[in-house]
Structure 1
């Protein structure tokens, strides 16, 4: 069977002669093996059956082949905060209708994130899965619009907030406290300016604009609505996510003191019973575990180390290279031209992405240069093998993603300007590999292409992510050794709002970000790897 299966393939006739078994039993057996992925059907005049790679490994090792099952998952709903761009699972975010939110009483945090799109790299960590499951692919998002609000309770004396979803506290607590303090100051000023008894009656309108950074504040120990989930994105078969905006405060009319006798009584504050339930996710003192195993290969902490690795990658990669730089300059890309040309000549697919160009470089000049390099290296195939986006990603990500000689995918994540002309040694990156983390990084690479407007290139990195997840599933089924791996978390785009300004501690962050206050890419764009300092130091000592 080994000789037939591995060299020539086997037909039903040859299998019947070899095993002396009735053909119907062999048909059932072969169908089962094909369904498990251990045997494949080869084309030809007569159907022949050959072992897959997994079948070959099982034959050599004497162990049962590993197999996995891919199933379609139910859609999931996610909430997106439009103040800082945080995401949470739908069940972690109690919401109320505009009527119950009492827009005439309660202030809000300012609406800043006004874009109406998410890519799968931003939602992948929040998709529900059970132990032993993994996310192989994420379908396109479906956008649904509705208006709901999140109520929180603020105690200014204690500087405490109840009601924020798990994981949102670091990013939103400052915004909510600022709104509450501003409301308290507004109430005090209103009291000072109230007219004395006998003053001619008049209506006094003290409303503030409902949008922007000057949104109305909130009272101490009162309900404050930081976000309004108003848009839902539903990626088919796996992810449904919701976008959110802050509470919009309607204009309020204040009645002079002399008119209070005939004025209707003020409305009573609304009670939100769930805010009395001090669950950890409501208090915001916990977060879901988003770490995954990764193998630390190196920490690069100077420009020369980055340049040496890039030269090595361009000379040795076999299938994929993606270079994402916070900034690009024509001078630097011209210097890399020969190395890029050599890689393309070998048939390597090279992607070049950048957040922005320097003042002496235009996106058109970058595209023209890379098209010329690609044509010189591979003629008409050059544009397919060497790709650059027609515009910047507006991301501060410094990312190098590549493979070498059939080995697992590797990534370097940091703030290095691979395509820029800077000379500073302040750059720092971490060099990692590991199937699960590489799947996440590949989706982040696809997300960069999405924001650059080139869907075809994004699809290619989605397929690479699927391959990484398949490898992870097989490694898990075989019981792979994870002793050399350390926990790592990938932080993408607006997730950075929760770590900005964090004090030095046991967590090291390797990455770069860029923040924009207007346009389609408004918000924080970047890619960062977070690792425990102790794990990094231990791993570095053994490298």
Structure 2
């Protein structure tokens, strides 16, 4: 039996970056330009003085200076002889001691992704064969329900699907553009052994139950009414003309939607059942190497991260939040599953102390509790910001104008030697505590935190103030650049290094809840049955410590 899964296609424009750490010469040149500006700001460093200082050929010095100028860390001033001075970014780099990187950003070919409208799953176009409505024949084949109607995608899920070459990383994701609204993925169902073929890898866990239920319902319908004839949408079908023979190809031909449209009509079989057997209309499902006929295993999306600690209980979470607000230097983001005015007011002093240091504080929430409205949250936080820094306070303290509808419990901050850090779990940071003891993981690692920062940008897209998402996209880009530097200068493996996977929104449908693989799973989700936000909204982390990285 054939069952149809409704899908849409989105085109995604994105950029990739490649780069390397600066050479020792480039770092020393940067330091020398800074030193000369401090001693004799009216003179500055020149190409001649730099060559004399480092005793290298002029060509090497030109390459080093051009690299620094291209990065925006050094500027050239006019005069009798060109002199070099540090820009503001160059001064910050020298004062922080941060190792710079030479990064080149370029646009990548657009990527097309397929979006399942029943359970919200995503796959690259090349991983799944889809057909238009005319080929799918939903008037004859049963289909899973169309539940997810939104026309936007979360970039934190898309980033895992975007192709890039070795040594490259995603440096910016454009807004996904809907290019095909309604297509179908046909799958073959064998109810006898409950087997499904035709689904892309990773979709089985989310869709198998739904597909089997639809197939079982159609089977019972046909058995109870043996004379039932499904009514096509059109009363007559035009015969498809025979296609001239094609020249032989050099390899085995793989069926595509374009070739399916021109296939020969299937001949009538004498003694066939009274109801149409349209399953044979999709011949690629009959092959031994059918696409997606594998098991339920989802693609492994784990990357290296730092497991700083496991957090349990209300007191431990509150202490960690207080530490984040007290030590952060640039960013703090608090995403709470729910919020109420009383709990949020208790954080007022700590938030104001962070604002006085120039720290940006974001506050998002999935839903408001009884007695609190979104406007109450906005008014309270605006008042806190204005009291401590007047107009600047409102720029630094950003509350969500609307609930995000997400069950995510997320805390992001910086300030330690580890760089950007996150706490991912199920704790209610700004609302009433849950009935179960809260559990979270405290993690770091530049590449993993780039994904977390994009997840934060995704939350802002649902907040009523989507412009704030851009700031977290820039944070993600900086994390990716830092990853390139650390990968090139990697030292001994750290004892707290683990493999971590970030699960966002509808990706949760792929994760078995009763898995016994020894992984540590923490996070919070919220299921929406209907409406524009239908689907699973939340953020989780799956932590695995592989034997190759585990400490003795």
Question: Is TM-score (shorter-chain normalized) higher than 0.5?
Answer: yes
SS for the counterpart of 2:347 is helix
Question: Which of 14, 20, 34 is the matching residue for 1:6?
Answer: 34
CA separation in 2, counterparts of 1:28 and 1:107?
A: 68
Question: 1:262-312, CA deviations, whole angstroms, 9 ceiling, x for partnerless residues?
Answer: xx9957543322222335743244433311101101111211110111111
The 5 Å alignment of 1:87-236 reads 87-191=122-226
SS for the counterpart of 2:520 is strand
Q: Which residue of 2 aligns with 1:337?
A: 348
In the alignment, does 2:391 pair up with 1:373? no
Question: Which of 306, 312, 323 is the matching residue for 1:301?
Answer: 312
Contact kept in structure 1, 2:446 and 2:479, CA below 8 Å: yes
Q: Which residue of 1 aligns with 2:84?
A: 48
Deviation (angstroms), 1:207? 8.0
Deviation (angstroms), 1:38? 10
Question: Which of 415, 419, 427 is the matching residue for 1:416?
Answer: 427
Contact kept in structure 2, 1:446 and 1:459, CA below 8 Å: yes
TM-score, with length taken from structure 2? 0.77
Structure 1 pair 315/10, CA: closer, same or farther in 2 (3 Å)?
same
CA separation in 2, counterparts of 1:283 and 1:407?
A: 40
Deviation (angstroms), 1:99? 2.5
SS for the counterpart of 1:361 is coil
Larger strand proportion, structure 1 or 2?
2
Question: 1:466-509, CA deviations, whole angstroms, 9 ceiling, x for partnerless residues?
Answer: 11001001111223444431111001011111226444442332
In the alignment, does 2:393 pair up with 1:346? no
Q: Which residue of 1 aligns with 2:450?
A: 439
Question: 1:168-189, CA deviations, whole angstroms, 9 ceiling, x for partnerless residues?
Answer: 0110111111111111111122
CA separation in 2, counterparts of 1:268 and 1:151?
A: 11
Structure 1 pair 131/175, CA: closer, same or farther in 2 (3 Å)?
same
Structure 1 pair 383/180, CA: closer, same or farther in 2 (3 Å)?
same
Question: 1:138-172, CA deviations, whole angstroms, 9 ceiling, x for partnerless residues?
Answer: 12222213432111111111111111101101101
Structure 1 pair 423/66, CA: closer, same or farther in 2 (3 Å)?
closer
CA separation in 1, counterparts of 2:56 and 2:521?
A: 61
Contact kept in structure 1, 2:190 and 2:196, CA below 8 Å: yes
In the alignment, does 2:399 pair up with 1:388? yes
Contact kept in structure 2, 1:10 and 1:50, CA below 8 Å: no
Deviation (angstroms), 1:465? 0.5
Contact kept in structure 1, 2:201 and 2:299, CA below 8 Å: yes
SS for the counterpart of 1:137 is strand
CA separation in 2, counterparts of 1:265 and 1:538?
A: 58
Question: Which of 518, 525, 534 is the matching residue for 2:530?
Answer: 518
SS for the counterpart of 1:472 is helix
Question: 1:385-407, CA deviations, whole angstroms, 9 ceiling, x for partnerless residues?
Answer: 11101110000000000001564
SS for the counterpart of 1:326 is strand
CA separation in 2, counterparts of 1:267 and 1:88?
A: 29
Structure 1 pair 481/127, CA: closer, same or farther in 2 (3 Å)?
farther
SS for the counterpart of 1:283 is coil
Q: Which residue of 1 aligns with 2:251?
A: none
CA separation in 1, counterparts of 2:187 and 2:434?
A: 47
CA separation in 2, counterparts of 1:265 and 1:322?
A: 58
TM-score, with length taken from structure 1? 0.79
Deviation (angstroms), 1:19? 7.1
- Structure 2: state its 5+ residue gaps: 1-27, 37-43, 233-273
Question: 1:39-60, CA deviations, whole angstroms, 9 ceiling, x for partnerless residues?
Answer: 7225576541559599979x99
Question: 1:386-433, CA deviations, whole angstroms, 9 ceiling, x for partnerless residues?
Answer: 110111000000000000156410000011100012264521100000
Contact kept in structure 1, 2:127 and 2:291, CA below 8 Å: no
In the alignment, does 2:544 pair up with 1:532? yes
